[in-house]
Structure 1
């Protein structure tokens, strides 16, 4: 029997809907929220209101693009956690209403598990299927709110073996950009300027954290003090050296991430290595992972750009695996800002 799933993602500031059939993504629609740019960050209340405005047209377009009718759906999947509680509520209540009206199963999805499984979404290059990781594999999930190393034994059996003790890598990018005076969202702009700069021009410290955990708060402080000291001596320091500063910051964040990933690969003996999450769209991280893969004989895997940032396709593929396992939720399930890894 064919399995068709409508998925909804509303954890932060992207309203997204996708349809998958038998694990193949038929549509993936994303509505971004520009309203937050003037505030330099996501405003939760404004995000919730924008989700309410966007969700019906986004779902409608996803269904039309997929050539699917509501009567052909077998389940509704949605992001349960983690995320902004108001934003999550919009997607959850919409999903519950459809599930009840259509009398089909409801599937609650953990947002970070979905980021990992984005690596399993079938894609093609020049008409040929792209290779996918084999279990077990390691996945470095990097976003504005999370930095984790996950050991994946199967689609629904994952263990976090390393995570940030304070700030996330994505936040380190965005806060550094803000200190540099770059507009929000600043992470992609650091990536853009870094491509024109010398990554060895300036040196920033690497936190000496034992085990597989990360820390980025000290690095952010070091960057702040570095800029304060140099701009005090020359007010035009940032303007004169922006590409080199961005390249140096980006290189340090990447080496912090990949040194821990290398350590995890040695400890576990796993050779299939993936990245996921919004920061996995960073060109420097993608290129360096491929270089390290050749150097250490890893099999490296990176999601397509459209599946790196928040999107419903990753919720759909996770929902597909949960449907096969019979892992359904009742209508009483509640979205939560935080949740244990599932």
Structure 2
């Protein structure tokens, strides 16, 4: 018997709803982005984000149902992100999911947003086998995880301050570039010299699997500030290329070291920054020399979406990991 799960994702600035069969087959996957709304502020404004979710959530649900050709009565369960994220935004998705679960008398499955990003890979790749190392690298989180088996995780390290995605956004803002910073920086960095400026590689050789990008951010900002004070030309493309390379070097080095230490032959990337082509290319090249396979989702499944939430929810439901209707949102939530 097929299990149909509706996924609901409202942790930040995307209102997303998806219908997924048996944790792997996407029937519909609708995302209403708020990027244009927040661009003029240079970042996400929490209050505006929650209001946008309230306006969009029902139309997005209706569209997901319409495109799938399914009805609410066909659902085996409803999976929803309950954290981490913006409290107001999370509450919109969780409240609607609870209402549907109660009205349809189906299981409510609370899903950790970070865990959901991992499952984006299982929606597209059949060759993934545990154990493996997963690098979750998104706007607000940078985590390195050892996955022994489905839903059996060991957190090896995580960001101590600014996550990789946050630093991309902040550097873009300093240079008056568009929000979000990741795509525009990657585009401009292609035309720059990545070895021209020697920016620091924080915690690269400290022996841990933790990350820290605050010092790198400060180094880039002060480099730009110094050039401005001396009325010198700011080589934007070279700065961005050198900055991006520093981030990629740290992410790749620590991920490969973890794969070697835990003797895994597979690595998966997850999260919005996993869409970065420089990161994908470098980790794949270096991993191939070690006979390690690398997987990552398509661009649409790297960014926040509800298909990954539905997939993670399916596997939790298989373990009878249902949530109570008393489930509350958690703004700060780790994977384990």
The aligned counterpart of 2:32 is: 31
SS across alignment from 2:120? helix
Given that 2:22 and 2:311 are in contact with CA atoms closer than 8 Å, whether structure 1 keeps it comes out as no
Alignment of 1:172-321 (within 5 A): 172-208=167-203, 209-235=206-232, 237-238=233-234, 241-321=235-315
User: How far 1:330 moved relative to its partner?
Assistant: 1.0
Given that 1:12 and 1:84 are in contact with CA atoms closer than 8 Å, whether structure 2 keeps it comes out as yes
User: How far 1:186 moved relative to its partner?
Assistant: 1.4
Mapped partners of 1:88, 1:307: distance in 2: 19
User: How far 1:84 moved relative to its partner?
Assistant: 0.2
User: How far 1:169 moved relative to its partner?
Assistant: 0.6
Alignment match of 2:145 (pick from 150, 157, 161): 150
What are structure 1's unaligned runs of at least 5 residues?
124-129
Alignment of 1:104-115 (within 5 A): 104-115=106-117
1:302-326 deviations in Å (ceiling 9; x for gaps): 1111110100010010011011111
The aligned counterpart of 2:73 is: 71
Mapped partners of 2:216, 2:334: distance in 1: 27
SS across alignment from 2:19? strand
Given that 1:132 and 1:301 are in contact with CA atoms closer than 8 Å, whether structure 2 keeps it comes out as no
Mapped partners of 1:50, 1:273: distance in 2: 36
1:262-282 deviations in Å (ceiling 9; x for gaps): 221121111201110010011
1:229-265 deviations in Å (ceiling 9; x for gaps): 1222234x22xx2222111111110001111112211
User: How far 1:131 moved relative to its partner?
Assistant: 4.3
What are structure 2's unaligned runs of at least 5 residues?
none
Mapped partners of 2:42, 2:274: distance in 1: 22
Given that 1:89 and 1:335 are in contact with CA atoms closer than 8 Å, whether structure 2 keeps it comes out as yes
The aligned counterpart of 1:45 is: 47
The aligned counterpart of 2:320 is: 326
| TM score, norm. by length of structure 1 | 0.94
User: How far 1:142 moved relative to its partner?
Assistant: 0.4
User: How far 1:179 moved relative to its partner?
Assistant: 1.5
Mapped partners of 2:144, 2:55: distance in 1: 35
The aligned counterpart of 1:171 is: 166
Mapped partners of 2:294, 2:21: distance in 1: 27
The aligned counterpart of 1:126 is: none
- Alignment RMSD: 1.2
User: How far 1:295 moved relative to its partner?
Assistant: 2.2
User: How far 1:4 moved relative to its partner?
Assistant: 0.5
- Equivalent residues, number: 332
Mapped partners of 2:126, 2:309: distance in 1: 20
User: How far 1:157 moved relative to its partner?
Assistant: 1.1
Ranges of 4+ aligned residues in structure 1 off by more than 4 Å: none
User: How far 1:76 moved relative to its partner?
Assistant: 0.7
Which range moves more in the overlay, 38-47 or 204-213?
204-213
Mapped partners of 1:289, 1:341: distance in 2: 23
User: How far 1:339 moved relative to its partner?
Assistant: 2.5
Mapped partners of 1:132, 1:230: distance in 2: 49
Mapped partners of 2:250, 2:296: distance in 1: 18
Which range moves more in the overlay, 293-302 or 38-47?
293-302
Mapped partners of 2:335, 2:135: distance in 1: 15
